[in-house]
């Protein structure tokens, strides 16, 4: 029955009640779903709710290109196991939390490997400066963008979600993409060779043309995601994790033009990275992003309790970053991840509940 339901959703619009308002709340957390048993998920979300967390962002499509839900499109990360996304939604709504599935859009294997999907569709891959395919979806490919949108459609239509949270809507780091399609399309657009453009000095006219062309590809992908969501569940909020304002600098090649996404209404709230562990650097990151994000547009900073960049080692360190973020104008914070933050929840609870109190009711009973 579920198969028939999902397949029908892929073909026709569907309708669900959705949470009121675009802002997710003031306190949220990513979920990596390492422990996917029903009891473990229920306990973790109950503890989060008791501590004042208002919404969760559970991993639905990983950087390896695998699904943590029952997908008929994406290879599953754990075939035969419980539907982790469904378990999260059930528990979260029971305890009054919103759910925004976390979709790693273009990462499909990562920079070191290809996912099964990209192994089957090598023409969808980013090609790096060495001529090697990497596990990233090339947004210049119409077919690859359709694949991305089919994932979005499957999740939004097949589950009672309150929105979606995007990640990796960008190019990978470094010089790319040099597939035949990108070389041809850029030459048709600009008259220049992409390989020559990528080697141009940052800040030159040719370099700007190359980056602008790639930004256009990513923005087209985001437009198609927005269109897909509006077709199946109109008005549902779309958010995105982004690296932040510093990526508009000359040295960055990821082409993540989130200012345009905000201006064109392609996203409804945003959570830039706050993955820095010196307080002055953190304050600078929060303040700089605040200046570039329009007042009234929901801006939450992502706090890296533990990441590949470093970690916070106590509840007091977590509290200090949350406190500074709010003082400097962020509308809220998102912890990466709930699993890493769990050990500090009891100590943080009075503080977090105070921040969350004005927006405690997330629209779910």
| CA atoms of 209 and 45, how far apart (whole Å) | 47
Separation of alpha carbons 266 and 268, rounded Å? 7
Write the CATH number of the domain with boundaries 21-358. Answer: 3.20.20.80
Sign of the torsion angle spanned by Cα atoms 72, 76, 81, 84: negative
Read off the pLDDT of residues 17-62 as tens digits, 9 standing for 90 and up: 223 348 999 999 999 998 889 999 999 999 999 999 999 999 999 9
Six-digit token string for 32: 């990596």
Q: What's the CA angle centered on 169, arms 209 and 114, to 5 degrees? A: 100
CA distance 193 to 209: 11
What mean pLDDT comes out for the span 225-237? 97
- Give yes or no for residue 136 having a pLDDT over 90: yes
Question: How does residue 357 score in pLDDT terms, banded at 50, 70 and 90?
Answer: confident
* 8-12, 223-227, 266-270: least confidently modelled range: 8-12
Residues in the chain: 365
**267 contacts: CB under 8 Å, gap ≥ 6:** 166, 222, 226, 238, 239, 240, 258, 261
* Average confidence (pLDDT) over 183-191: 97
- Average pLDDT of span 283-298: 97
Q: H helices then E strands: how many in the chain?
A: 13, 14
pTM comes to 0.92
Q: pLDDT tens digits for 303-337?
A: 999 999 999 999 999 999 999 999 999 999 999 99
């Amino acid at each position: 029955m579920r198969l028939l339901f999902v397949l029908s959703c892929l073909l026709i619009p569907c309708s669900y009640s959705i949470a009121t308002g675009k802002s997710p709340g003031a306190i949220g957390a990513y979920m990596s779903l390492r422990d996917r048993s029903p009891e473990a998920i229920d306990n973790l979300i109950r503890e989060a709710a008791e501590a004042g967390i208002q919404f969760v962002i559970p991993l639905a499509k990983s950087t390896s290109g695998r699904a943590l839900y029952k997908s008929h499109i994406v290879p599953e990360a754990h075939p035969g196991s419980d539907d982790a996304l469904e378990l999260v939604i059930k528990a979260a709504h029971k305890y009054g939390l919103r759910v925004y599935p976390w979709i790693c859009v273009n990462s499909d294997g990562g920079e070191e490997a290809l996912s099964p999907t990209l192994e089957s569709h090598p023409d969808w891959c980013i090609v790096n400066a060495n001529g090697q395919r990497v596990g990233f979806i090339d947004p210049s490919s119409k077919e690859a963008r359709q694949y991305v949108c089919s994932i979005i459609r499957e999740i939004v239509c097949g589950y009672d979600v309150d929105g979606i949270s995007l990640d990796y809507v960008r190019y990978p780091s470094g010089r790319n993409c040099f597939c035949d399609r990108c070389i041809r399309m850029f030459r048709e657009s600009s008259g220049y060779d992409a390989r020559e453009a990528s080697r141009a000095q940052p800040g030159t006219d040719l370099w700007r043309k190359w980056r602008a062309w790639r930004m256009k590809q990513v923005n087209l992908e985001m437009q198609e995601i927005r269109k897909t969501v509006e077709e199946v569940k109109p008005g549902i909020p779309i958010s995105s994790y982004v690296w932040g304002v510093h990526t508009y600098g000359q040295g960055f090649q990821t082409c993540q033009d989130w200012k345009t996404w905000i201006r064109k209404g392609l996203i409804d709230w945003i959570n830039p990275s706050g993955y820095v562990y010196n307080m002055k650097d953190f304050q600078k990151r929060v303040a700089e992003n605040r200046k570039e994000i329009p007042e009234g547009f929901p801006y939450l900073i992502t706090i890296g309790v533990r990441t590949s960049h470093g970690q916070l080692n106590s509840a007091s360190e977590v509290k200090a970053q949350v406190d500074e973020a709010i003082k400097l104008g962020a509308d809220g914070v998102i912890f990466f991840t709930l699993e890493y933050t769990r050990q500090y929840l009891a100590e943080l609870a009075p503080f977090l509940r105070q921040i969350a109190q004005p927006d405690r009711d997330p629209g779910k009973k």
